[in-house]
Amino acid sequence: MELTELYQKISEYGEICDHCLGRMVAKRSFGLSNDQRGLGIRVSAALTLNIPFHPQQETCWICGDFFKTTDLWADRVIQAFRGIEGKTFVIGSKVPPLISESEEMVWSDLGLSDPEPLKSEINREVGKLVATKTGLAGDTKNPDLIALLHLHEERVEVQIRSLFLYGRYLKYERGIPQTHWACSKCKGTGCDACNGTGKQYLDSVEELIGRPLLPIFKAEKAILHGAGREDIDAIMVGSGRPFILEIMHPLTREADLKNLTEAINSVNKDRVEVIDLQWSQRSEVETLKNHKGHKKYRILVDIDGSIPETTLQSALEQLSGATIRQRTPTRVAHRRADKVRERGVLDIRYTGKEGNNFYLEVTGEAGLYIKELISGDQGRTTPSLTEVLKTPARVVQLDVIHVEGIDQVKSHGTS
Ligand SMILES: [Zn+2]
Ligand SMILES: [Zn+2]
């Protein structure tokens, strides 16, 4: 459609501003702003048809003259960002449906192929002003701050990107769950059973690690994403369990990793310790959670009767490197589908005695049931230590000493 014809048809709908007029052909010609395009269309129509030039006289029927208020909106955004640390931002907007419908009606009536939606011009124009006034950089991919313009309500909502910290934790005290558990009686509202805390356990690894960081980042909440979890009653020693801590709604983003480590460890002596803290990002949470890493355990095993160490040694040699067939253990059968899984024992070795019990270290594929590897679970797991020794054996204590983290995943590639 010729521009002059387009101008005449669009004018039939009502008074329109240069921005909204120019946006109808927003992809024609580079290096122009939409209001320049709009003005150009008006001028060329006046010249071509030899009619009086007609500037916009009444309120634009599409945007209600939004673009006279871009400066005001930019100031609202800057006000909303006050007190929040961030280097990059993006603007988003909630445009009332009636406005979107108006412009979409024109697009379809006139069969326009290259219009730009109002929303995208608003975001860009307010964004340019905010960048100029503050020195913040626009970033649509991974901004620190998002300002959402609620046009109808004339307010700005700020969303702050979470911070992510990768590390490994060690747990020295039994009875601490990995994450916060709501009280089973009151579901978190607080009752007599939980002394009004709303929690089943007073502390969790998540809270012990997150709590000291909240004042540092002026944040609201921290969530722990773990690479698997140990039993509440197991300790986690050795090289620690990989985790990513998500710090939500942080008002500050800069911190020294050594100071953070110190802040966590100094208040959790003999309970929980973090090591290897590094900055991370949201995308690594999935990698961490999906990664099926090998785990290494230290277990204390009780074996009936008395067996010579050499007999134990040769039994362990048979199990080391073996593939174990495990039917879902009886202890979890009520929660999980009964099926047979095959998992490898990468290594199993004897490391010392305590009284009549034996310390073993086992490295297994993720998902290997260790207790059943020893007990045999009445023949449901095979081979097992019980089966090889022909003597009942059982785990009396189990601790995780190493879990592969995403640092190792990265070096393996696609393992
Ligand atoms: Zn307009
Ligand atoms: Zn309760």
Instruction: Give yes or no: residues 203 and 253 share one domain.
Output: yes
Q: Which residues pair with 223 in a beta bridge?
A: 246
3-class secondary structure, 105: helix
| Domain-ending residue, one of 104, 138, 160 | 160
| Domain-ending residue, one of 139, 160, 181 | 160
Structure tokens at 156: 């700005």
Residue 239's contacts (CB-CB under 8 Å, 6 or more residues apart) are 168, 401, 402, 403
Q: Which range of residues forms the domain containing residue 239? A: 163-290
Structure tokens at 369: 């049931």
Query: How many angstroms is it from 67 CA to the middle of ligand 1?
Result: 7
Instruction: Give yes or no: residues 29 and 74 share one domain.
Output: yes
Query: How many angstroms is it from 17 CA to the middle of ligand 1?
Result: 4
Query: How many angstroms is it from 180 CA to the middle of ligand 2?
Result: 13
Residue 392's contacts (CB-CB under 8 Å, 6 or more residues apart) are 303, 304, 375, 386
Query: How many angstroms is it from 361 CA to the middle of ligand 1?
Result: 72
Instruction: Give yes or no: residues 63 and 172 share one domain.
Output: no
For the stretch 326-361, what's the b/e string if a residue is b when 16 or more beta carbons lie within 10 angstroms of its beta carbon?
bbbbeeeeeeeeeeeeebebbebeeeeeeeebbebb
Question: What phi and psi, each to the nearest 5 degrees, are found at residue 351?
Answer: -120, -5
Name the residue with tokens 């240069």.
18
Catalytic residues: 231
Give the ligand at the shortest distance from the Cα of 182.
2
Residue 415 lies in a domain: no
Instruction: Give yes or no: residues 9 and 148 share one domain.
Output: yes
d(CA 214, CA 212): 6
Instruction: Give yes or no: residues 320 and 282 share one domain.
Output: no
Residue 396 is inside which H or E element, if any?
strand 393-403
Instruction: Give yes or no: residues 9 and 143 share one domain.
Output: yes
Instruction: Give yes or no: residues 251 and 331 share one domain.
Output: no
Query: How many angstroms is it from 20 CA to the middle of ligand 1?
Result: 4
Give the ligand at the shortest distance from the Cα of 190.
2
Query: How many angstroms is it from 3 CA to the middle of ligand 1?
Result: 18
The 10 Å Cβ neighbour count of residue 26 is 19
Residue 152 lies in a domain: yes
Is 396 exposed, middle or buried (CB count within 10 Å of its CB: 0-12, 13-18, 19+)?
A: exposed
3-class secondary structure, 193: coil
Give the CATH number, domain containing residue 118: 3.30.2300.10
Residue 98 lies in a domain: yes
Query: How many angstroms is it from 364 CA to the middle of ligand 2?
Result: 38
pTM exceeds 0.75: no
What confidence score (pLDDT) does residue 30 get? 85
- Say how many CA atoms lie within 13 Å of 70 toward its Cβ: 20
Give the CATH number, domain containing residue 318: 3.30.70.3190
Residue 103 lies in a domain: yes
Instruction: Give yes or no: residues 244 and 271 share one domain.
Output: yes
Give the ligand at the shortest distance from the Cα of 201.
2
Give the ligand at the shortest distance from the Cα of 70.
1
Between CA 292 and CA 296, with CA 295 as vertex, the angle to 5 degrees is 170
Give the ligand at the shortest distance from the Cα of 184.
2
Query: How many angstroms is it from 331 CA to the middle of ligand 2?
Result: 27
Q: What is the number of domains present in the chain?
A: 3
Residue 403 lies in a domain: yes
Per-residue pLDDT for the chain (415 aa), expressed as one digit of tens each? 788 999 999 999 999 999 999 999 998 888 999 999 999 999 999 999 999 999 999 999 999 999 999 999 999 999 999 999 999 999 999 999 989 899 999 999 999 988 999 999 999 999 999 999 999 999 999 999 999 999 999 999 999 999 999 999 999 999 999 998 889 899 989 999 998 999 988 899 999 999 999 999 999 999 999 988 888 888 888 888 899 999 999 999 999 999 999 999 999 999 999 999 999 999 889 888 777 678 889 999 999 998 999 999 999 999 998 999 999 998 887 777 888 999 989 899 999 999 999 999 999 988 899 999 999 999 999 999 999 999 999 999 998 888 877 665 444 333 2
What confidence score (pLDDT) does residue 72 get? 97
Structural contact between residues 377 and 330, judged by C-beta atoms closer than 8 angstroms? yes
